[in-house]
Amino acid sequence: MEHTTLVQHIRQQEKATPGATGEFTSLMNEIMVAAKIISLEVNSAGIGEDIFGLTGKINAQGEEVKKLDEFSDITFTKIIGQSGTVCAITSEEKDEAYIIPPEDKPGKYIFMMDPLDGSSNIDVNVSIGTIFSIYKKKSPGDLVTDEDLLQKGDEQIAAGYIAYGSSTIFVYSTGHGVHGFTLDPALGEFFLSHPDLVIPDQGSTYSINEGNWVVWDEAQKDLVSYLKEDAPSSGRPYKLRYIGSLVADFHRTLLKGGLFMYPRDTKSPKGKLRFSFEAAPMAFIVENAGGKASTGKQRILDITPTGIHDRLPLFIGSKKDVELAEERLAATVKKGGWFKWLSG
């Protein structure tokens, strides 16, 4: 393993960025500190005080808030909020944006996060993670407006995730490649372990909750049936891999290739995953690794959200696999449309 630390790597990128003031490096450093604290908590959960279990609260998504969810949200909000680098923080756990008060010397960045995604898996020892996205404040003056909080995916300055699993891995991109760092718990330091990650052009796995089959539309059913057909010349059947924790499913897809899907369905007519806290940051990362991310029709990074909790369908992974999904979905819709027209 190379001995480049995460801070050294970020500083190297800062030196290559004209006009860099060091504020971004400082923000990334604070994210790293919060990540180390969450990693310690996640990996000692269940030992000592009862950090497992529910808080009895419901979050902005209408989901039960676990103690580690709340701990993660508070930890990131406090550390990033007092870093002097951001003027606002939005979180999957909070209805509204947290605007940094003047006494905490707001900075020029907007920080968006899912503080602990996949938390329903906490009690069964499955990998969970933090997902984050960084934008620059756009509107003039000190007031934070929707112009700052609802930016097009392409406007991201950086995005990343921390996977708390068998080891703690910090993956990020500032638009210059995708790089992974593994935490050495003995030293408390992240070391470069996955330099210049590139996703394979085509994979051999599809990742989706097949338990939702009955609520999918016909085009989605056709796509999954196609992937399962016995057609070795085109690399089919694909294998199914699904953990139910986006950071874990995405990390596997990034390293090994394949297609992750969370389509809209009759239970989640707009899709389940959130633009700001899941789709946009993961789309930024996958595109910087040579992959693709779309709603099945539209490139994720071309989208400007209308609300900080917007949900949407997500098809993400190897370029050829996402393109195959888009083609099959479009073809079935066309065929279905024609069929509907014929049958009146």
Write down the residue that tokens 């909000």 correspond to. 77
Q: Please identify, using beta-carbon distances, which residue of 9 and 251 lies nearer to ligand P6P.
A: 251
CA distance 168 to 32: 11
Closest to 268 in 3D by CA, of 62, 39, 86? 62
Q: Please identify, using beta-carbon distances, which residue of 26 and 120 lies nearer to ligand P6P.
A: 120
Rounded to 10°, the helix 319-343/218-228 angle is 130
Q: How far is the CB of 312 from ligand P6P (least distance, A)?
A: 13
Q: Do 114 and 94 meet the contact criterion of CB atoms below 8 Å apart?
A: no
Tell me which stretch binds ligand P6P (CB under 6 A): 39-47, 152-160, 245-253, 296-304.
Answer: 245-253
Q: Figure out which of the listed residues 4, 29, 120, 204 binds ligand P6P, where binding follows CB under 6 A.
A: 120
Q: Please identify, using beta-carbon distances, which residue of 4 and 120 lies nearer to ligand P6P.
A: 120
CA distance 184 to 306: 40
Q: Figure out which of the listed residues 117, 148, 310, 321 binds ligand P6P, where binding follows CB under 6 A.
A: 117
Q: How far is the CB of 272 from ligand P6P (least distance, A)?
A: 6
Q: How far is the CB of 311 from ligand P6P (least distance, A)?
A: 10
CA distance 181 to 187: 14
Q: Do 226 and 102 meet the contact criterion of CB atoms below 8 Å apart?
A: no
Tell me which stretch binds ligand P6P (CB under 6 A): 19-27, 176-184, 196-204, 242-250.
Answer: 242-250
**Helices marked H in the chain — which ranges?**
6-15, 23-44, 67-81, 146-149, 218-228, 246-256, 280-288, 319-343
Side-chain-side CA neighbours of 192 within 13 Å: the count stands at 15
The token duo for 53 is: 């279990």
245 binds ligand P6P (CB under 6 A): yes
Q: Please identify, using beta-carbon distances, which residue of 158 and 246 lies nearer to ligand P6P.
A: 246
CA distance 77 to 68: 14
244 binds ligand P6P (CB under 6 A): yes
Q: How far is the CB of 268 from ligand P6P (least distance, A)?
A: 8
Q: Figure out which of the listed residues 106, 107, 115, 118 binds ligand P6P, where binding follows CB under 6 A.
A: 118
Tell me which stretch binds ligand P6P (CB under 6 A): 113-121, 143-151, 214-222, 303-311.
Answer: 113-121
Strand partners, 159: 133, 173
Q: How far is the CB of 271 from ligand P6P (least distance, A)?
A: 11
Closest to 255 in 3D by CA, of 165, 317, 315, 208? 317
CA distance 50 to 54: 10
Q: Please identify, using beta-carbon distances, which residue of 15 and 267 lies nearer to ligand P6P.
A: 267
Q: Please identify, using beta-carbon distances, which residue of 175 and 244 lies nearer to ligand P6P.
A: 244
Q: Count the site residues for ligand P6P by CB under 6 A.
A: 9
- Give the per-residue contact string, 203-232, with ligand P6P (x = CB under 6 A; - = no): ------x-----------------------
Query: By CB under 6 A, what part of segment 272-311 binds ligand P6P?
Result: 272
Residues that bind ligand P6P (CB under 6 A): 117-118, 120, 209, 244-246, 249, 272
